[in-house]
Amino acid sequence: MIVILKENPAEEQLNDLTQWLKSLNIEIYKSEGLHKVILGLIGDTTVVDVDLIKALDIVEDVRLIQEPYKSANRKFHPMDSIIQVGDVKIGDGSLQIIAGPCSIETEAQICSIAQSVKESGARILRGGAFKPRTSPYSFQGLRNDGIKLLLKAKKASGLPVVTEIMDLSQLELFEDVDFIQVGARNMQNFELLKELGRSQKPILLKRGLASTFREWLMSVEYIMAGGNPNVVLCERGIRTFENYTRNTLDLSAVPVIKKLSHLPIIVDPSHATGRSELIVPMALAAVAAGADGLMIEVHNDPPHALCDGPQSLLPSTFDKLMKKIQKIRVALQD
Amino acid sequence: MIVILKENPAEEQLNDLTQWLKSLNIEIYKSEGLHKVILGLIGDTTVVDVDLIKALDIVEDVRLIQEPYKSANRKFHPMDSIIQVGDVKIGDGSLQIIAGPCSIETEAQICSIAQSVKESGARILRGGAFKPRTSPYSFQGLRNDGIKLLLKAKKASGLPVVTEIMDLSQLELFEDVDFIQVGARNMQNFELLKELGRSQKPILLKRGLASTFREWLMSVEYIMAGGNPNVVLCERGIRTFENYTRNTLDLSAVPVIKKLSHLPIIVDPSHATGRSELIVPMALAAVAAGADGLMIEVHNDPPHALCDGPQSLLPSTFDKLMKKIQKIRVALQD
Amino acid sequence: MIVILKENPAEEQLNDLTQWLKSLNIEIYKSEGLHKVILGLIGDTTVVDVDLIKALDIVEDVRLIQEPYKSANRKFHPMDSIIQVGDVKIGDGSLQIIAGPCSIETEAQICSIAQSVKESGARILRGGAFKPRTSPYSFQGLRNDGIKLLLKAKKASGLPVVTEIMDLSQLELFEDVDFIQVGARNMQNFELLKELGRSQKPILLKRGLASTFREWLMSVEYIMAGGNPNVVLCERGIRTFENYTRNTLDLSAVPVIKKLSHLPIIVDPSHATGRSELIVPMALAAVAAGADGLMIEVHNDPPHALCDGPQSLLPSTFDKLMKKIQKIRVALQD
Amino acid sequence: MIVILKENPAEEQLNDLTQWLKSLNIEIYKSEGLHKVILGLIGDTTVVDVDLIKALDIVEDVRLIQEPYKSANRKFHPMDSIIQVGDVKIGDGSLQIIAGPCSIETEAQICSIAQSVKESGARILRGGAFKPRTSPYSFQGLRNDGIKLLLKAKKASGLPVVTEIMDLSQLELFEDVDFIQVGARNMQNFELLKELGRSQKPILLKRGLASTFREWLMSVEYIMAGGNPNVVLCERGIRTFENYTRNTLDLSAVPVIKKLSHLPIIVDPSHATGRSELIVPMALAAVAAGADGLMIEVHNDPPHALCDGPQSLLPSTFDKLMKKIQKIRVALQD
Per-residue pLDDT reduced to its tens digit, D179-195: 999 999 999 999 999 99
Q: CB distance A248–C240 less than 8 Å?
A: yes
**Residue among A265, A238, A234, A262 nearest A249 (CA):** A238
Q: What does the DSSP 8-state code read for residue B261? A: B
Q: Phi/psi zone of residue C8: left (φ > 0), alpha (ψ -120 to 50 degrees), beta? A: left
Q: How many CB atoms lie within 10 A of CB A156?
A: 16
Q: Check residue D304 and give its pLDDT.
A: 57
Mean pLDDT of D257-284: 92
Q: CB distance B277–D290 less than 8 Å?
A: no
Q: Check residue A137 and give its pLDDT.
A: 82
Residue in chain A lying closest to D65 (CA): A4
Of residues A185 and C275, more confidently modeled? A185
Residue in chain B lying closest to D289 (CA): B281
Q: Check residue C308 and give its pLDDT.
A: 54
Q: CB distance A135–B304 less than 8 Å?
A: no
Of residues B30 and B311, more confidently modeled? B30
The Cα of C97 is separated from the nearest Cα of chain D by a number of Å equal to 24
Name, in order, each residue with C-beta under 8 angstroms of D37's C-beta and a sequence gap of 6 or more.
D4, D5, D9, D30, D31
Q: Nearest by CB to A42, which of D2, D31, D43?
A: D31
Name the band, by pLDDT with cuts 50, 70 and 90, for residue D42: confident
Weakest mean pLDDT among A47-56, A125-134, C260-269: A47-56
Weakest mean pLDDT among A52-56, B89-93, D90-94, D135-139: A52-56
Per-residue pLDDT reduced to its tens digit, D317-330: 999 999 999 999 99
Sort out which chain B residues have CB atoms less than 8 A from D285's CB and list them.
251, 285-286, 288-289
User: Which residues share a beta bridge with C163?
Assistant: C180
Mutant choice from B5, B31, B61, B238 vs C, greatest count of C C-beta within 10 A: B31
Residue in chain D lying closest to B270 (CA): D252
Please say whether the dihedral angle defined by the alpha carbons of residues A76, A292, C254 and D243, taken in this order, is positive or negative.
negative
Of residues C334 and D241, more confidently modeled? D241
Weakest mean pLDDT among A131-140, C218-227, C317-326: A131-140
Sort out which chain B residues have CB atoms less than 8 A from C4's CB and list them.
65
Q: Check residue D29 and give its pLDDT.
A: 77
Q: Phi/psi zone of residue C100: left (φ > 0), alpha (ψ -120 to 50 degrees), beta? A: left
Predicted confidence (pLDDT) at residue C36 exceeds the cutoff of 80: no
Sort out which chain B residues have CB atoms less than 8 A from A308's CB and list them.
51, 55
Q: What is the pTM of this model?
A: 0.91
Per-residue pLDDT reduced to its tens digit, B40-53: 787 777 777 777 78
Alpha-carbon C37 to chain mean position: 39
Name the band, by pLDDT with cuts 50, 70 and 90, for residue C302: low
Strands A88-90 and A59-63 come out as unpaired
Per-residue pLDDT reduced to its tens digit, C134-153: 888 888 899 999 999 999 99
Q: Nearest by CB to B245, which of D244, D256, D278?
A: D256
The Cα of C136 is separated from the nearest Cα of chain D by a number of Å equal to 5
Sort out which chain A residues have CB atoms less than 8 A from D33's CB and list them.
27, 40, 42-43, 65-66
Mean pLDDT of D85-112: 96
Of residues B323 and B35, more confidently modeled? B323
Which range is most confident: A64-73, B269-278, C290-299? C290-299
Q: CB distance D43–A33 less than 8 Å?
A: yes
Of residues D27 and B171, more confidently modeled? B171
Name the band, by pLDDT with cuts 50, 70 and 90, for residue B308: low
Q: Check residue B310 and give its pLDDT.
A: 58
Q: Identify the contact set of chain A against chain D, taking CB-CB distances under 8 A.
A: 2, 4, 27, 29, 31-36, 38, 40, 42-44, 63, 65-66, 75, 239-241, 243
Q: Which chains touch C (3 or more CB pairs under 8 A)?
A: A, B, D
Cα–Cα dist B94/B90, whole Å: 7
Q: Identify the contact set of chain A against chain C, taking CB-CB distances under 8 A.
A: 210, 212-214, 238, 240-245, 248-252, 254-256, 259, 272-273, 277-278, 281-282, 284-290, 324, 327-328, 330-332, 334
Residue in chain C lying closest to B248 (CA): C241
User: Which residues share a beta bridge with D267?
Assistant: D235, D294
User: Which residues share a beta bridge with A297?
Assistant: A100
Per-residue pLDDT reduced to its tens digit, A93-139: 999 999 999 999 999 999 999 999 999 999 999 999 999 988 888 88
Predicted confidence (pLDDT) at residue B219 exceeds the cutoff of 80: yes
Cα–Cα dist B302/B309, whole Å: 5
Cβ atoms of D268 and D294 within 8 Å: the answer is yes
Per-residue exposure over D179-212, b if at least 16 CB sit within 10 Å of its own CB, e if not: bbbbbbbbbbbbbbbbbbbebebbbbbbbbbbbb
Cβ atoms of B166 and A191 within 8 Å: the answer is yes
Predicted confidence (pLDDT) at residue A304 exceeds the cutoff of 90: no
The Cα of D239 is separated from the nearest Cα of chain C by a number of Å equal to 7
Q: Is A42 exposed, middle or buried (0-12, 13-18, 19+ CB in 10 A)?
A: buried
Of residues D73 and A301, more confidently modeled? D73
Q: Which chains touch D (3 or more CB pairs under 8 A)?
A: A, B, C
The Cα of A172 is separated from the nearest Cα of chain D by a number of Å equal to 37
Q: Where are the beta strands (DSSP E) in C16-128?
A: 27-32, 37-42, 59-63, 83-85, 88-90, 96-100, 124-126
Q: Nearest by CB to C49, which of D46, D54, D138?
A: D138
Cα–Cα dist A101/A62, whole Å: 46
Which range is most confident: A46-50, B131-135, B260-264? B260-264
Predicted confidence (pLDDT) at residue C326 exceeds the cutoff of 70: yes
Predicted confidence (pLDDT) at residue D87 exceeds the cutoff of 90: yes
Longest dimension (CA), chain C: 74
Q: Is A11 exposed, middle or buried (0-12, 13-18, 19+ CB in 10 A)?
A: exposed
Per-residue pLDDT reduced to its tens digit, C224-237: 999 999 999 999 99
Name the band, by pLDDT with cuts 50, 70 and 90, for residue D41: confident
Cβ atoms of D162 and D180 within 8 Å: the answer is yes
Q: Check residue A36 and give its pLDDT.
A: 72
Interface pTM, i.e. ipTM:
0.90
Mean pLDDT of A246-262: 97
Mapping DSSP onto H, E and C, the string for chain D reads CEEEECCCCCHHHHHHHHHHHHHCCCEEEEEECCCCEEEEEECCHHHCCHHHHHHCCCEEEEECCCCCCCCCEHHHCCCCCCEEECCEEECCCCCEEEEECCECCCHHHHHHHHHHHHHHCCCEEECECCCCCCCCCCCCCCCHHHHHHHHHHHHHHCCCEEEEECCHHHHHHHCCCCEEEECHHHCCCHHHHHHHHCCCCCEEEECCCCCCHHHHHHHHHHHHHCCCCCEEEEECCECCCCCCCCCECCCCHHHHHHHHECCCEEECHHHHHCCHHHHHHHHHHHHHHCCCEEEEEECCCHHHCCCCHHHCECHHHHHHHHHHHHHHHHHHHC
Q: How many CB atoms lie within 10 A of CB A87?
A: 10
Predicted confidence (pLDDT) at residue D309 exceeds the cutoff of 90: no
Cα–Cα dist B38/B22, whole Å: 16
Per-residue pLDDT reduced to its tens digit, C238-257: 999 999 999 999 999 999 99
Of residues D166 and C20, more confidently modeled? D166
Name the band, by pLDDT with cuts 50, 70 and 90, for residue A302: low
Q: Check residue D68 and give its pLDDT.
A: 82
Which range is most confident: B5-9, B70-74, D163-167, D306-310? D163-167
Q: CB distance D309–C54 less than 8 Å?
A: yes
Name the band, by pLDDT with cuts 50, 70 and 90, for residue C52: confident
Per-residue pLDDT reduced to its tens digit, C66-89: 788 889 999 889 999 999 999 999
Of residues C46 and D280, more confidently modeled? D280
Q: Nearest by CB to B288, which of D238, D240, D287?
A: D287
Predicted confidence (pLDDT) at residue C128 exceeds the cutoff of 90: yes
Mean pLDDT of D141-162: 97
Cβ atoms of B273 and B247 within 8 Å: the answer is yes
Per-residue pLDDT reduced to its tens digit, D202-213: 999 999 999 999
The overall average pLDDT reported for chain A is: 90
Cα–Cα dist C69/D141, whole Å: 20
Sort out which chain A residues have CB atoms less than 8 A from D32's CB and list them.
42
DSSP 3-state of A269: helix
Q: Check residue A317 and give its pLDDT.
A: 92
Q: Check residue A309 and give its pLDDT.
A: 53
**Residue among C149, C209, C205 nearest C177 (CA):** C149
Cα–Cα dist B137/A37, whole Å: 27
DSSP 3-state of A170: helix
Name the band, by pLDDT with cuts 50, 70 and 90, for residue B33: low
The Cα of A221 is separated from the nearest Cα of chain B by a number of Å equal to 7
Name, in order, each residue with C-beta under 8 angstroms of B148's C-beta and a sequence gap of 6 or more.
none
Identity of residue C14: L
Predicted confidence (pLDDT) at residue A308 exceeds the cutoff of 60: no
Predicted confidence (pLDDT) at residue A211 exceeds the cutoff of 80: yes
Predicted confidence (pLDDT) at residue A1 exceeds the cutoff of 60: yes
